[in-house]
A = this chain, B = another copy of it.
């Protein structure tokens, strides 16, 4: 492509709302434009990157044996009601009516749609296993669209669905997709970790997330550098060390106006961990108190999964509820001597800590030396805590590290979660009707663009990996009034193209400084500069990453590009 003809509206200034490198550079390089909050258009350079990622995803999906289809973006309400998710998605789902007043949504995902498609078409175990996928625009009316196309309301996603006869082969499909995902993200040159994921609204019994590491990511993962353990911060298992003190005598203490864990910890000169935290909740209308160590936060995802109640039915209790249930003002709730009618949930870790400080259910009083089993009992839940950096690795006992990242892929194995309510079954070898055993598998195609940039940029612009660069090579003519330069530049450009290199030619009537700045900004990885040495048949070669110029003969420069391209794509 000749840049003199190219629609590539680069910007010198960064638009005000761009907070992260990917958003900033995609805008500045003229690759995307905002059409409305969280809704973007892809200009020629940006779309080329998206198409290259799409191609890699498609190739690896096809290699895995998955078959591509394309379902409509508009989905009828009925199937979402059958699965019970019309309400679950709530305002995050774009909804619309057609001229006949029939309800539809713009698909945020397509478990229901694929399940109902297969339910009508696949009848026999002989047709299984089956993995089908699409690369399709998805819609989520995010409350806070952010970071450009990273968290957009319209985005391109590859979503696959597996249909199996049973869990055993379902796991094979799951592993097959896992491997395909590794290949995809390896080819995208992403630095990523595969972590145990929370299955959230997808539900199900197993899930993993593919997280591209990035300080600007919205997700946090916990991982162990000693062993292979890794999980999202929400899912990471918390192992609390037991305390082995002798039990001391229960004591009531006046603690006027001391309400926070910090106040209490200071006053009693005790580690916050030993100051019991009471989280007063209303769960589906029922007063519920969860007790956790004072140095911890309640993990809502784990609680939802424990309670099996949707998150919107869980709220913080109001003062009046707390007073009614504990008999004391907020800040003095404890597990000893609570009134009847309140559900008490105790995190397992609390049962392993001796001589706790707890509220006394009496305004202005706390208890000292409270011990589980001796002083109180209740429903014990395995792990309701948020993990934090430095926690003990649940697998090897070493310390966990935390890093931020961008979720670029996720895989779920959820069995009959959708096939059962949607009545999607096949006939097994004995002619018996059995529900499909299913999984679903997503890759954020447009989001991957942002992850790649977050991991590959410097102050001046993007540094595309060759496999996804909008163009692999760029030939910059420093002065296109100089006939030697113009001729050599054109020749090199044409030779690169004829030898299969995606090449750009900067033949614009611009100053060299602008050409260099644009070339850095748009991040073309392999570069040839045609300047004064043109009359000797020499050019400068550099990579976007190193930016060190090397004077080469024209043929050497071309061979170098072919070699580097070849190495990169066959790596």
List chain B residues, Cβ under 8 A from A7: 67, 69, 121-122, 127, 130, 132
A:3-43 near B, CB below 8 Å: 5-7, 9, 30, 33, 35-36, 39-43
Asked whether A68 is an interface residue with its Cβ less than 8 Å from the other chain, the reply is yes
The answer to whether B67 and A41 touch across the interface, beta carbons within 8 angstroms, is: no
The answer to whether A41 and B73 touch across the interface, beta carbons within 8 angstroms, is: no
Asked whether A99 is an interface residue with its Cβ less than 8 Å from the other chain, the reply is yes
Identify which of A89-97, A374-382, A548-556 touches chain B.
A89-97
Asked whether A282 is an interface residue with its Cβ less than 8 Å from the other chain, the reply is no
The answer to whether B98 and A96 touch across the interface, beta carbons within 8 angstroms, is: no
**Alpha-carbon gap, A38 to B71, bound state (A):** 13
A:42-90 near B, CB below 8 Å: 42-44, 47, 50, 65, 67-76
List chain B residues, Cβ under 8 A from A30: 121
Closest Cβ of chain B to A525, distance in Å, is 21
Max chain B CB contacts within 10 Å: which of A67, A76, A127?
A: A67
Given contacts A7-B130, A113-B35, A117-B41, contact A154 B70 (CB under 8 A): no
- Over the window 122-157 of chain A, the binary record of Cβ atoms lying under 8 Å from chain B Cβ atoms (1 yes, 0 no) is 100001001010000101010100000000011000
The answer to whether B74 and A39 touch across the interface, beta carbons within 8 angstroms, is: yes
**Alpha-carbon gap, A106 to B105, bound state (A):** 12
Asked whether A104 is an interface residue with its Cβ less than 8 Å from the other chain, the reply is yes
List chain B residues, Cβ under 8 A from A154: 72-74
Instruction: From the candidates B65, B71, B92, name the one contacting A35 in the complex (CB within 8 A).
Output: B71
Closest Cβ of chain B to A173, distance in Å, is 13
The answer to whether B143 and A99 touch across the interface, beta carbons within 8 angstroms, is: yes
**Alpha-carbon gap, A127 to B510, bound state (A):** 13
Instruction: From the candidates B36, B40, B47, B106, name the one contacting A68 in the complex (CB within 8 A).
Output: B47
**Alpha-carbon gap, A384 to B9, bound state (A):** 47
The answer to whether B73 and A137 touch across the interface, beta carbons within 8 angstroms, is: yes
A:447-488 near B, CB below 8 Å: none
The answer to whether A94 and B96 touch across the interface, beta carbons within 8 angstroms, is: yes
| A contact residues vs B (CB 8 Å cutoff) | 5-7, 9, 30, 33, 35-36, 39-44, 47, 50, 65, 67-76, 91-92, 94-96, 98-99, 102, 104, 106, 113, 117, 120-122, 127, 130, 132, 137, 139, 141, 143, 153-154
